[in-house]
Structure 1
Amino acid sequence: MAKRRRFPRPRDFVPLLRFKKPTLNPTRRRLEKALTVEDLRRVAKRRTPKAAFDYTDGAADSELSLARARQAFQDITFHPAILRDVSVVDTSVDVLGVKSALPFGIAPTGFTRMMQSEGEIAGATAAEAAGIPYALSTMGTTSIEDVTAAAPHGRNWFQLYMWKDRDRSMALVDRAAQAGIDTLLVTVDVPVAGARLRDTRNGMTIPPTLTPRTVLNAIPRPAWWFDFLTTEPLAFASLDKWSGTVAELLDSMFDPTVTFDDLAWIQQQWPGRIVVKGVQSVSDAVRLAEMGVDAVLLSSHGGRQLDRAPVPFLLLPEVRREVGHEMDLYLDTGIMSGHDIVAAMAVGADFTMIGRAYLYGLMAGGRRGVDRAIEILAKDIERTMRLLGVTSIAELDPGHVEFLSRADRA
């Protein structure tokens, strides 16, 4: 039977024509189009000079540690439960006695105003608004006091490297305590700097070295250079002036003689909570638990130190079995989505931290870009929890995640 056809009437088109109101602000327009952290990364790469972008995006040597960490999150299967009432979902967790609205915080990152001029202030204020912790790096480009003043109601942490000059290290610790910092992240995986080859090839120095290649790369990125040249000169806020590469600075400052005894000494000096960051073995995690630290952060430094390092996500279940639940276990490295965070929480993490994921947002749109990165991850987490059939982070357990075998991945 032939179809009967007719001429469409104008009123038939009306329900089909719903024009979206245009977004005039270009930054807002870019961020609205970004639906994933990878989208933010692509925007960041377009808008940021190569040296600054590569400092964030790159890792050590052949960058295998980072690639494997990201791949590990992809090599899982989720196992959902059905017919559960998931109309209301609670994404909050307890972090060292204080509620965090989301199961992730912002990890310490160095040289942050190099990526985008709002730097640490954007990260701290976005974290404050989201109700999550923010950690300032020893290598930060904004002072402890300025960060805590900008986010006075935020959960501000401070990350410490033990320097060869112990007095300078402890002077920073004292400043952190006086500024109201309640948690110290002691980073233990940097006896020397990793081989960050992208930085070496780009001539990454402090302050940045301008070469003909640098200038040519900057021409299509005038907004970044305008911000860079019209704001406070870039420097490590906790350090004296330095002229040389980042790697040379790290090698001159970091102390390869630091031991567990030094950590015990810090425990005696610091009045607040201590999280040890950069743990990469079960035995070290067990020893730290015996020392009474408040939390261990399983981390390969975002793949920026030892290439071919253990993958923190894969290490997590075994560490959890050995240390039990008396000590908190946190995780970073490789997180690029809320799915990754949910998987980590399911297999034993008490909390996670993001570095590159928020920095891509920062480079894509300053403070608003950081807000967008947090929003993307939060929506991912909520959606994944609902699809798994859970209404709180506490309901996640190892049964929700299956690690794929090599045969499964083939």
Structure 2
Amino acid sequence: MAVTRRLPRWQELAPLLQFDLTLNRRRARLSRVGDIADLRTIARRRTPRAAFDYVDGAAGAERTHQGNRAAFDDLVLTPAILAGNAEVDLSTTIAGRRSALPVGIAPTGFTRMMQTEGEVAGVRAAEHAGVPFTLSTMGTRSVEDVAAAAPAATKWFQLYLWRDHEASRALIERAWASGFDTLLVTVDTAVAGLRLRDTRNGMTVPPKLTAGTVLDASYRPQWWFDLLTTDPLTFASLSGSTSDLASLINGMFDPTLSIEDLAWIREIWPGKLFVKGVLTADDARRSLDTGADGLIVSNHGGRQLDKAPVTLDALPEVRAAAGDDVEIMFDSGIMTGSDVIAALALGADFALIGRAYLYGLMAAGEAGVRKVLEILEREMRVTMQLMGAADLSELTPEMVRRIER
């Protein structure tokens, strides 16, 4: 039968003519973002290579970083048919506080180098989403500034132990006085890992821009404008000026970090304490025996020891050693909401995001970080519905299996 054609009527055509006239380019960019990989693409375009690679890269040949992602890629989540639910409860309790989602923002260093809103964008987005924000010892806003930026947020502080233990004590006391109620003690960074991208880019700590990195940055005028029209970059928790930055960094880390140091930190910290960087049953038991309230299974996103255990492989061992009553957070490799759900099903109580958070920050500041959390919430909710789980307590290891490719 031949197709009969006619001229379109205006009343039928008019609803189809919808033009995107948004003048806010940041909002327009984010409206087309589907997942965190899209935010990474925008971040790479808008951020100088040295700063982007500082976030995106890892130690050595980056085998551990690749392994973290490959482990998630090789998982199969079991769908449940005829078990639908209209509502999913993603809330949980971690470190004595309620979180609207089972994921929070991990500590990241030198954050304002990626995008000048830095930690303030992170803590405000976390406050808006009702999730915890963690400030790093290497943060570029002070504990006082971060506390003032989001008074109602759940705020945690991450500690690198300094050679000068009394200076560490003073910093811990400042954090507690500013409302940071949980301490994450990072134990896998007695010395910095060999991050080859930073070496090749001329990126040092403290950062040093070579002719090549300056040329690369020149293609990102907004980044330069933000850098030159805001206050200088410093490790704000360490110093209020840039004059002594190099000496502070070079002398900061304590390479002799030991279990006795952890016991000392436990003695002086009045709040909840989690040990970050646990990958083995023995280290889990030693940390708990020394007074840790919880553990964070993490290989620092592959940024420390290359060829270290993949976090998803280490999680069941650490859970078995810790027992069911110990709170365990999971860190390293998470890029989707289904990654979070898989980690929870395999034994974690909570997850932390580092790179994913920074991709959003580099892409669009606070709005980009909010977008990251919105994406993860949507992905987690849909994943739970399709797996037939109404709340997080219904997730079990039997819902996840690994395939061999």
Give the TM-score normalised by the residue count of structure 1. 0.94
Residue correspondence of structure 1 range 261-340 to structure 2 within 5 A = 261-340=260-339
1:1-400 equivalences in 2 (<5 Å): 2-10=1-9, 13-14=12-13, 17=16, 19-205=18-204, 208-240=207-239, 252-400=251-399
**Quick check: 9-18 or 78-87, which moved more?**
9-18
| Distance of 2:243 and 2:53 partners within structure 1 | 20
Please state whether the residue corresponding to 1:27 is helix, strand or coil. helix
Amino acid at match of 1:328: E
- Aligned 8 A contact 1:191 1:255 in 2: yes
Name the SS of the counterpart of 1:377 in structure 2.
Answer: helix
Q: Which stretches in structure 1 are left out of the alignment for 5+ residues?
A: none
* Offset, 1:85: 3.5
Indicate if the aligned counterparts of 2:203 and 2:209 stay in contact, CA closer than 8 A. Answer: no
Contact 1:278 1:301 in 2 (8 A): yes
Alpha-carbon spacing, 1:203–1:244, altered in 2? closer, same or farther (3 Å)? farther
Cα 1:315–1:206 change in 2 (3 A) is closer
TM-superposed deviation, 1:242? 6.6
Q: CA deviation at 1:251?
A: 5.7
Contact 2:118-2:140 at 8 Å conserved across structures? yes
Distance (Å, rounded) in 2 between the aligned partners of 1:386 and 1:12:
39
Q: Bigger shift: 222-231 or 89-98?
A: 89-98
> What is the alpha-carbon distance in structure 1 between the residues aligned to residue 3 and residue 186 of structure 2?
74
Question: How much identity, in percent, do the aligned residues show?
Answer: 53
Aligned residues of 2:262 and 2:290 also touching (Cα < 8 A): no
Aligned residues: 404
CA distance in 1, matches of 2:245, 2:179: 32
Whether the 8 Å CA contact 1:242–1:249 is kept in 2: the answer is no
The answer for unaligned runs of 5 or more in structure 2 is none
Q: What is the rounded CA distance, in whole Å, between the counterparts of 1:192 and 1:402 in structure 2?
A: 36
Decide which moves more: 201-210 or 167-176: 201-210
SS at match of 1:305: coil
Residue 5 of structure 1, CA deviation: 2.5
Cα contact 2:272–2:293 (8 A) shared by 1 = yes
Instruction: Provide the TM-score with structure 2 as the length reference.
Output: 0.95
CA shift for structure 1 position 20? 5.0
Paired residues of 1:206 and 1:243 also in contact (CA < 8 A): no
Partner secondary structure for residue 104 of structure 2: strand
The superposition leaves residues 131-165 of structure 1 with CA deviations (integer Å, 9 ceiling, x where unpaired) of 00000000000000000011111000000011111
Change over 3 Å in CA distance of 1:346–1:378 after alignment to 2: same
Residue 96 of structure 1: how far off its partner (Å): 1.7
